[in-house]
């Protein structure tokens, strides 16, 4: 039971930090109403962080040496932080708005930048951490 409560705590902490970071990034980047730069940046950075977490979890020997349980990091960063930092619902709502304004090229560009960029950023995060750790 205690492990379950800690798990909820890690998800809640990560979720709160991710939501605040997403709001801050949106305030910082959303100067242009026509294109959702804040959401795009949050989704791409979230994928970068997720790639880094995936690399950390894949190399469990590092966790064992540091005395850290891999699942706690996954819950804190992947489920909590990235889960609230990135957002599919905002992407869909913003694409709907673009389509309602008949901005087909912008909507398609946004979708492709998010999907292709998301995979590229995930892979870059995975490789970056692998390179940093030697």
Q: Domain map of the chain by residue range?
A: 2-133
How many angstroms separate the first and last alpha carbons of the chain?
A: 38
Encode pLDDT of 78-120 as tens digits.
889 999 999 888 999 999 999 999 999 999 999 999 999 999 9
Note whether 130 and 55 are within 8 A (CB). yes
Q: What is the pLDDT of residues 51-60, one digit of tens each?
A: 988 887 777 6
């Amino acid at each position: 039971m205690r492990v379950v409560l800690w798990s909820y705590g890690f998800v809640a902490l990560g979720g709160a930090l991710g939501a605040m970071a997403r709001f801050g990034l949106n305030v910082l980047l959303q100067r242009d109403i026509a294109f959702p730069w804040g959401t795009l940046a949050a989704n791409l950075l979230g994928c970068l962080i997720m790639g880094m977490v995936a690399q950390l979890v894949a190399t469990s020997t590092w966790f064992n040496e540091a005395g850290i349980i891999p699942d706690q990091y996954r819950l804190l960063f992947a489920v909590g932080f990235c889960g609230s930092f990135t957002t599919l619902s905002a992407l869909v709502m913003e694409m709907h708005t673009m389509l309602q304004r008949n901005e087909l090229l912008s909507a398609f560009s946004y979708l492709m930048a998010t999907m292709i960029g998301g995979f590229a950023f995930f892979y870059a995060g995975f490789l970056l951490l692998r390179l940093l750790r030697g």
